[in-house]
Amino acid sequence: MILKEFSQLNKSTLYSTILTILSVVLNSIYKQKIILGTVFSGRNYPQLEVSIGMFIKTLPYQLRVEESADLASLVKRSQKNFLLLEENMNIPFNVNLNSLTDFLLVYQHSDDLSKPIIDFGEFSLERKPMYFTQSRFPVVFNFYESAGLKCEIEYDENIDEKFLETIWEKITILTNVIYETPNKTIQEIDLSTLKERQLENMIHFSFDF
State the pTM of this model: 0.79
**pLDDT for residue 194:** 83
d(CA 184, CA 69): 8
Instruction: Read off the pLDDT of residues 157-200 as tens digits, 9 standing for 90 and up.
Output: 889 999 999 999 999 999 999 888 888 999 999 998 888 787 77
Please tell me the number of Cα atoms within 13 Å of 15 on its side-chain side: 20
| Percent of the chain whose predicted confidence (pLDDT) is above 90 | 28
Asked if 101 and 60 touch (Cβ cutoff 8 Å), the reply is yes
CATH number of the structural domain spanning residue 186: 3.30.559.30
φ and ψ at residue 118, rounded to 5 degrees:
-110, 120
Cα separation values, 151 from 26, 91, 141, 205, Å = 17, 30, 7, 38
Q: Answer with the residue of higher pLDDT: 6 or 126.
A: 6
Show the domain range for 198. 2-206
Partnered with residue 154 across adjacent β-strands are 140
Q: Which of the four pLDDT bands, split at 50, 70 and 90, describes residue 3?
A: confident
**Residues 122-156: pLDDT tens digits?**
888 787 776 666 667 889 999 987 777 888 898 88
Residue 130 DSSP class: -
Contacts of residue 128, Cβ cutoff 8 Å, sequence gap at least 6: none
pLDDT on residue 21: 94
What confidence score (pLDDT) does residue 158 get? 87
Based on the structure, what is the number of domains in the chain? 1
Whether the per-residue pLDDT at 204 is higher than 70: the answer is: no
Q: What is the pLDDT of residue 163?
A: 93
